[in-house]
Amino acid sequence: MSANEQYILEHFYEALEKKHIKAFFQPIIRTLTGSVCCAEALARWEDPNHGLLSPADFIPVLEAHDLIYRLDMAILEQTCAMYRALADTQTFLHSFSVNFSRLDFAKPSFYEDVVHIVDAYQAPHEAIKIEVTESVMLADEARFHEIFRAFHGAGFSVWVDDFGSGYSSLGLLQAYNFDLIKIDMIFMRDFTVRSRRLVASIVNMAKELDILTLIEGVETEEQLRFVRSIGCEAIQGFYYAKPLNSRDFTAFLAEGRIEPLKEKEYWNNIGHFNLLSPNPLEEGRVDSAMQSDIPLALIECTWGRGDYIFANDAYLANIHALGFDSIQALEHYFNDKISLRFNPMKNMLTEAVLKGSVQEFDYVLGDIFYTFRARCIAKSKELNKAMVVATLNTFRESIRQQERTDLRQYTQALYASYEHVNLVFPDRNASIRVFSKANFQTAHQLMGLRDGIQSFAIKEVHPDDRARYLRFFDVDTLGDRLAETGFIQQGFRVHDMEGNYVWRQIRITKVPSVVEEVYLYTIQAMSDVSMKIAEMLVKEHPELLE
């Protein structure tokens, strides 16, 4: 027995009692958001005589002398104590992962001991992730299968640690329904094209099996960009933080962003989506590549906004072709600026969220014809937000000239059927003019919605029709009046280009929206016959115009 081994054995229980052996915590980061979604508990021995002892030195010794079980239970208890301490101070980090040796699974009371410790600290079972290596499963497959089912049945998640470092990893995925695989850091350490292809293949395979993924050993911006591009949803590594003692870990959480517990299911659902699929908007699973060449993005829809969470290189290239320098510039037009060209995109995202099916539209911007497709992959009523996966394909004029010409002709024909089109937003007390060829005064367009309606009635509507028009356009009752048919319409006399009062058909149509009331307000010419009927009704039966 070496002197080092003898020292470890002689001081192990003393180290546990005096807390020289303690749990350090390395944050696990949600790749798309940068939020801390979990933390791994790691055993560290800070010896007063020899300083920090490496786990590579003391863990094999403890395993060889049947002491590892005592260590692992102590780390589990310290982890549960950390969970409880954070929860008691309203710091809700919702989960921790804890490593267990293959020898732990041979203990008859292993499952019961874990449950007893977790319950003693009033930690929910889903807050503790059971981390195992493939050696655990290979040691006694029947015993592991039994405990695996017990942990899953009790609400614990089971993670595979160091995936890809052994020989039987693929067979294990076939045999067990793991919740997450942690891809070994050796792939990040040797960051070659070959290793990146292997990592992409593992992530793709896991997503096809509906297993979440985490990559260890992320240390650089380049590695982080790669991990995001292939859709791996969680990372560990020095890029964000090394393993931290309890004090430093608590301080890290206080400074950083912790993923709220209520968002966990939402982001986990997004994590199951496979960015590497060559047909990402469809439900079926098909073979995939290292990085999709389909222009692909994730857009989070909330409160009338569409915020890009992720866009791959192909998508970025296409928004550059449309004239935007960055995703931020596109978001500005999309959210902060009154931009008519992107209202159709907003409406289509709303449709995607409401219907849950693939939505698509074509449009022309400059000399670029583009097709935008989207499908909702996760939504939360509690959070009032949804995640949409979108593709953006662009075609130059030389490629799609005929389609572009047809689209313009049809758009012009559509506009020709209306004299005036507005989008109306009662919740914002606002409206946006989409199109107008009527000679209306513009002052009411600069007012709030309700003041604008009053102004329009006074300046543009015939005096005998004004009261009826104001009842017709009462925004506070629009929702109830449109609940069944989805639209209302009436005839009114309004100013024409020469300032004369002419009968026009005014229609208000409800526009589907997930976050606010939206209506389409249109003014359309009436036929001579319709105008004669309206004149007759206003004289003899005005009540029928209501």
d(CA 36, CA 26): 10
3-state secondary structure of 25: strand
d(CA 148, CA 179): 11
**pLDDT recorded at residue 85:** 94
**pLDDT recorded at residue 433:** 78
Non-local (6+) Cβ contacts of 404 within 8 A are 364, 367, 369, 397
Letter string b/e over residues 400-426, b meaning 16 or more CB atoms within 10 A of that residue's CB: beeebeeeeeeeeeeeeebbbbbbbbb
CA 100 to chain centre: 32
Single-letter amino acid, residue 110: F
Would you say 372 and 360 are in contact if contact means Cβ atoms under 8 Å apart?
A: yes
**pLDDT recorded at residue 74:** 97
Please give the structure tokens belonging to residue 298.
């994730």
Q: Which domains does the chain have, with CATH numbers?
A: 3-270 (3.20.20.450), 296-405 (3.30.450.20), 417-545 (3.30.450.20)
Starting from the edge strand earliest in sequence, which strands make up the sheet with 359-365, in order?
305-311, 296-302, 385-396, 368-380, 359-365
d(CA 322, CA 411): 20
Q: Which residues lie across from 393 on neighbouring strands?
A: 371
Single out the residue of 489, 544, 539, 493 nearest to residue 519, CA to CA: 489
Please give the structure tokens belonging to residue 318.
């296409």
**pLDDT recorded at residue 227:** 94
3-state secondary structure of 395: strand
Letter string b/e over residues 467-504, b meaning 16 or more CB atoms within 10 A of that residue's CB: ebbeebbebeebeeebeeeeebebbbbbbeeeeebbbb
3-state secondary structure of 393: strand
Helices (H), 461-503: 466-472, 478-481
Q: pLDDT digit of tens for each residue in the chain (546 aa)?
A: 677 888 899 899 999 999 999 999 999 999 999 999 999 999 999 999 888 888 998 999 999 999 999 999 999 999 999 999 999 988 888 899 999 998 999 899 999 999 999 999 999 999 999 999 877 776 677 888 899 999 999 999 999 998 877 655 677 777 788 999 999 888 888 888 888 988 998 999 888 889 999 999 999 999 999 999 999 999 999 999 999 999 999 999 988 789 988 888 998 988 888 888 767 776 655 455 555 678 999 999 987 788 999 999 889 998 888 888 898 888 887 776 555 445 567 777 888 888 888 888 776 666 677 788 899 999 998 888 999 999 988 875 444 455 545 555 555 555 567 888 888 889 888 888 777 766 665 555 567 889 889 989 998 999 998 999 999 999 999 888 888 788 899 899 998 877 788 999 999 998 876 567 889 999 988 888 888 887 887 777 776 666
